[in-house]
Each structure stands twice: as C-alpha cells, then as structure tokens.
C-alpha cells in the first residue's frame, strides 16, 4: 500500500472525527479524499460518498433517537421528496450527463470536471454557512408547523444536490427544518441526520445498477469513518465545538477554492 493510500484511509477516519466533533460538515470531505487521495473517478466518488454519508449519518441518528430528539413526522414529510429526487438524479440524471459538456475559450468541460467544479461551489456555499454560524441553541418546544409547498420544493432541491455531489446537505436541511417546520435547533440537527441517512442510502441504490462497486474498499472506508465518529465524540469533551466548526468552515472554503482552481487551471 502506497503512502497516498494510507493518507486517504486516514482521511476516512478524519471525516468521522469531524462529524463526531462538530455534528456535521465532515461528509463534504468525502469526495475530495476519494478523488484526490485514492484516485476514484468523480462519478464513482459521489456514489461512494452517498454510501459513506448515509451510514455515518445513520449512526448519528440512532444515537440521537436514544434522547428522543428525532421528529419522525417531520423527517417523513421532508425525506419523501428528497429521496425521490436523489434516487432519480443518481439513476437517470447523472448517467445522462454527456462526457463532453461544452468547450469555452479552448477549455473543455468534461463530465468529471463539471461535477468537481459544481462540488467546489457547494463546498464554498457550505463553508460560508459554517463560518457565519449564528444559530441559537434553542431548546424551546413549539408546535410544529408545516409549510408543505416549500418543504416539498426544498426536499427536491436538496435531493438533487445530494445526488449530483454526494454530500449530505445538512447546511441546507437544518435551516429548512427550523424555518419551515419550526423545529428547535437540537431537534432539527437530530432530524436532519435521519433525513440525510435515508436519502443518501436510497440515492446509492440508484447507482448499484449503473456502476461497478468495489464493496470491500467501500466497507473499509465507511468503517473507518464510523470509527472516527466515536473518536470525535470522545474528543468533543475536550474541544470547543463552536470554535472548531468555524475553523473547519475556513478549511472547507480553502479546499473549495483549491478544487475550483485545480479543475479550471
């Protein structure tokens, strides 16, 4: 095994550690680790990312269920349009993207480059959400209200984005649950984990018939990421999670800019 492979597997552990420390955001590193460290092509990397993100979010969701923080009705209302969109995106939209998208000023945008550029943009948007995190730790119980049309639209958008880039989309789901379903912040975070788990794993099902899956590699990578969650949960006792989240946001921003520059230049 080469050093770059060892670094890649360490990256899998790091993804879980970040999730355990700050409760989200770490999954956005999955695709860059797979593409740049483990030489997985971007389309397959986004599929693998759905599997990794789905199982790591499921572990987190099961943990929050013990504390009765998951709102199952809200999760169902949001998840149905989301998982339909992510499945359709992985099954039909992604395979339909042509290998050559367009050429501009002599620069050819291929399918792989296009996916990575789009992913970099999502990273930058997510990083801004982490850096300017002004969420209050609201535990007030209010009556859950549903803005069904907006929840449906948000679910489709998040599902489609998840399908294209393989990221969980928590930075979009959590504000939607707070604003559109009036959930307190802790419940919104817990409920988002269940939504991410369901839609990511269902989206991955859409890839099974289209791609050759290296199951042994994928299970090892996912296992390391899940182990990282428990390690991150332990380290969380000694680290200020809020400050760490902002620092991680700056790191994601730099990564997004790096990927954007690398793919374009």
User: Would you say 229 and 26 are in contact if contact means Cβ atoms under 8 Å apart?
Assistant: no
pLDDT, averaged across the chain: 82
The pair of three-digit structure tokens given for residue 124, joined into one six-digit string: 């930058």
Sequence ranges of the domains in the chain: 3-264
pLDDT in tens, 18-66: 777 766 666 788 888 898 889 899 889 989 988 998 888 888 888 888 8
Position 143 pLDDT exceeds 70: no
pLDDT in tens, 158-172: 888 888 877 767 767
Q: Stretch 149-156: mean pLDDT, rounded?
A: 84
Contacts of 135 (CB under 8 A, 6+ apart): 174, 178, 185
pLDDT of residue 216: 93
Contacts of 243 (CB under 8 A, 6+ apart): none
pTM: 0.82
CA distance 109 to 181: 39
pLDDT of residue 148: 76
As beta bridge partners, residue 107 has 104
More confident residue, 47 or 209: 47
Smallest Cα–Cα separation from 118: which of 50, 170, 167, 172? 167
Split at pLDDT 50, 70, 90, the class of 182 is: confident
CA distances from 111 to 80, 108, 134, 231 (A): 28, 10, 36, 36
What Rg do the C-alpha atoms of the chain give, in angstroms?
A: 18
């Amino acid at each position: 095994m080469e050093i770059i492979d060892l670094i890649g597997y360490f990256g899998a552990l790091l993804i879980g550690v970040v999730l355990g420390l700050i409760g989200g955001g770490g999954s956005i590193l999955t695709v860059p680790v797979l593409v740049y460290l483990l030489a997985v092509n971007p389309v397959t990397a986004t599929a693998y990312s759905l599997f990794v993100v789905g199982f790591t979010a499921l572990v987190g969701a099961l943990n929050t269920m013990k504390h009765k923080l998951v709102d199952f009705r809200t999760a169902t209302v949001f998840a149905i349009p989301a998982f339909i969109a992510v499945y359709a995106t992985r099954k039909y939209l992604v395979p339909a993207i042509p290998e050559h998208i367009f050429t501009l000023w002599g620069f050819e945008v291929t399918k792989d480059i296009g996916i990575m550029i789009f992913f970099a943009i999502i990273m930058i948007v997510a990083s801004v959400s982490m850096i300017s995190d002004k969420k209050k730790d609201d535990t007030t119980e209010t009556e859950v209200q549903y803005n069904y049309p907006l929840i449906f639209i948000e679910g489709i958008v998040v599902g489609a984005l998840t399908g294209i880039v393989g990221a969980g989309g928590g930075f979009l789901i959590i504000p939607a649950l707070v604003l559109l379903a009036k959930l307190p912040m802790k419940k919104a975070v817990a409920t988002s984990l269940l939504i991410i788990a369901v839609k990511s794993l269902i989206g991955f099902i859409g890839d099974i018939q289209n791609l050759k899956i290296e199951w042994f590699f994928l299970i090892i990578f996912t296992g390391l990421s899940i182990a990282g969650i428990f390690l991150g949960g332990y380290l969380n006792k000694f680290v200020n999670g809020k400050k760490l989240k902002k620092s991680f946001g700056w790191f994601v921003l730099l990564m997004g800019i790096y990927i954007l520059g690398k793919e374009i230049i």
